Every structure is written in structure tokens, then in C-alpha cells.
Amino acid sequence: MTITPMGIQNAAMQRVAGHGELAVRQRSGRTRIERLFQEGAAKIRLPTTSGDPLEAILINTAGGLTGGDRIAWTIEAEREASVVVTTQACEKVYRSAGGHAEATCRISVGTNARVAWLPQETIVYNRSAFRRTLDVDIVGDGSALLLEATVFGRQAMGEFVDIAEFRDRWRVRVDGHLVHAEAFSIGPDVARQLAIPAVGGGARAVATLLLVGPDAEHDLDAARHILGDAGGVSAWRVGGTGKLLARLVAADSYSLRARLIPLVRLLNGRAGLPKTWSL
């Protein structure tokens, strides 16, 4: 920043920078914290639970992201540990004055361990730019339930996304072998693209829910019953493990949640829905 007789010139805007890490392990019959690290705007809170799984709540204290902001999470579950990770609220991606916002997550799942990555929705605002990456490494018969839900403007708030850039990249490996990869990209003409029948058919809210684990196919019929014609569910055996993939589309965030909540309850087993989802 340069100060001149006329005042402050060329002031660089402060950017969000956050990094949070959580590692858990099984000890004395329960999942417990092995390592907890917080830096910048990234905070992690762990409410009291009566048993497994441990529940972790991720918080971006900046209240949202815009161009140039960066936030990163690392989650590790060692052998036989179990953790559900969610967010305090929906992440908001605001209009960018330059550059893109970026969120990254790396998840490691040990043998017979389980991680449920269940953040609340990402809300995309008009003229925003956002890149999101999710990298997951699973060992042996570990399992991971992975969710990302995105709302392109909240209808109830009168928000409309005409122009924006959105990128979403997933890579999931089991014992080093790639079992799931996808790269979703939309923009800059978001409204026009979402209106195309083969893309969104006018939908403004979308979600992907992926379960990778030995028994992932078990709930295929029940998942299809929940979604009906609001999305699709498929299951495969791949890389020596099971894989169930669900995609949801809806006209708004309320309609999306109406299907997403029972689906999360189903696939997350006895852990059910994260507490912050019902606050």
C-alpha cells in the first residue's frame, strides 16, 4: 500500500486465507482427535457426542468467499475411526472483482474407517467465480460418503445468476486406483446453460452424492424410491469396492433439500443427518 499527500493509493484488498486439518483415530472403543490444526479463517468445532461417529463442524469466519480467497480442509480417519464432517452454514460465493475463489478438500480414509463429507449447500451469486476440488484416498475396506450441493441463486431471496464461472473437480481412489473422477464446469452464461434440457432443464439447484465402500450398492432401490424423477441413482462394483452415485436437480434449494435430506439419512446409516442441517 502506498501513502501519498492525497491519501491512500493502490490499497490491496484483504483476501481470505484459511487452512484447517482434522485427524481422528480409534482409541478405547471410540473415535477421538489425533490432530487438530486451524489457520486463518478456517475453524473446526467438535460438538459433544455420546458415541461414534465423531462430528466435526467446519466454519469459514469470513462469512463467504470472493475472487482471490482461498480455503482448504484436510480430513484424515485412521483405521476403524468414523467421522461426519459438515459446515456451520451454507458457503456463499460472492461477486468477484477479479480472480476466482477456491476451496479444496483432501480426505484420507484408513481401512475399516469411515468419513462422511456432508457440507451444506454452496450458494453461488451473480458474477462470481469459483473453483472447488475434492481429492479422496481410501484404503482397503474403508468407506466415504461424499456430498456437494450447489444453488445458483436463492429463489426465495429474489436472487438470479445470469453470469458466473463455476468449476468442480473430484478424484476418488481406493488403494491407489482411481474409482471415480468428474469435472463439472459451467459458465459464463450460467442461466442460458442451466435452461438447456440436457444440462439442468431450468433447475437452479443441483447436488451430487457419492458413496464408496464395500456395501455401497445395498441401498440402491431405497435411494431410487426417495429421488423418484427428481434425479438418478446408479451403482457399480469397481476397483474391488462398491460405488453408489446419486445426482439431484431441483427448481430451488427448498425442493432440493426435500429429496436430499432423506437420502443423506439413508446413506449415512445410524449417524443420520448432521445436527447443523436441522438448526
pLDDT in tens, 21-79: 999 999 988 999 999 999 999 999 999 887 889 999 999 999 899 999 999 999 999 99
3-class state of residue 201 by DSSP: coil
What percent of the chain has a predicted confidence (pLDDT) above 90? 75
Quick check: helix, strand or coil at residue 261?
helix
| Cell numbers representing residue 217 in the block | 450398492
Q: Is the pLDDT of residue 4 over 60?
A: no
Per-residue model confidence (pLDDT) at position 198: 83
Residue 119: CA atoms inside 13 Å, Cβ hemisphere, count? 23
One-letter identity of residue 118: L
User: Residue range 261-277: average pLDDT?
Assistant: 92
| pLDDT value for 12 | 56
Which has more confidence, 97 or 56? 56
Residue 157's pLDDT band (cuts 50, 70, 90): confident
Q: State the pLDDT confidence band at 240, using cuts at 50, 70 and 90.
A: confident
Is it the case that residue 164 has pLDDT exceeding 70? Answer: yes
Query: What mean pLDDT, rounded, does the chain reach?
Result: 91
User: With bands split at pLDDT 50, 70 and 90, how would you rate the model's confidence at 13?
Assistant: low
More confident residue, 202 or 103: 103
Residue 8 in this model has a pLDDT that exceeds 50: no
Under 8 Å CB-to-CB from 202, ≥6 apart: which residues?
Answer: 194, 195, 251
Q: Which residues contact 229 (CB under 8 A, 6 or more apart)?
A: none
Q: Which is nearest to 222 in space by CA: 242, 201, 239, 246?
A: 246
Beta-strand runs (E) in 125-176 = 129-138, 143-152, 165-174
Sequence-distant (6+) residues with CB within 8 A of 159 are: 125, 126, 153
> What H or E segment, with its residue span, contains residue 271?
none
Break the chain into its structural domains and give their ranges.
Answer: 83-270
The bridge status of strand 122-124 relative to strand 143-152 is parallel
**Residue 16: what pLDDT?**
80
Q: What is the pLDDT of residue 11?
A: 46
| pLDDT in the model for residue 133 | 97
Residues 105, 150: Cα–Cα separation, whole Å: 16
**Lowest model confidence (mean pLDDT) among 85-89, 150-154, 245-249:** 150-154
Cis peptide before 262 (omega within 30 of 0): no
Higher pLDDT, 202 or 87: 87
**Non-local CB neighbours of 238 within 8 Å, separated by 6+ positions:** 179, 180
One-letter amino acid of 74: T
Q: Is the model's pLDDT at 9 over the cut of 50?
A: no
71-92: b (≥16 Cβ within 10 Å) or e? bbbbbbbbebbbbbbbbbbebb
Scanning the chain, the segments in alpha helix (DSSP H) are 190-195, 220-227, 253-267
Q: Please provide residue 52's backbone torsions phi and psi, each rounded to the nearest 5 degrees.
A: -70, 150
Higher pLDDT, 50 or 235: 235
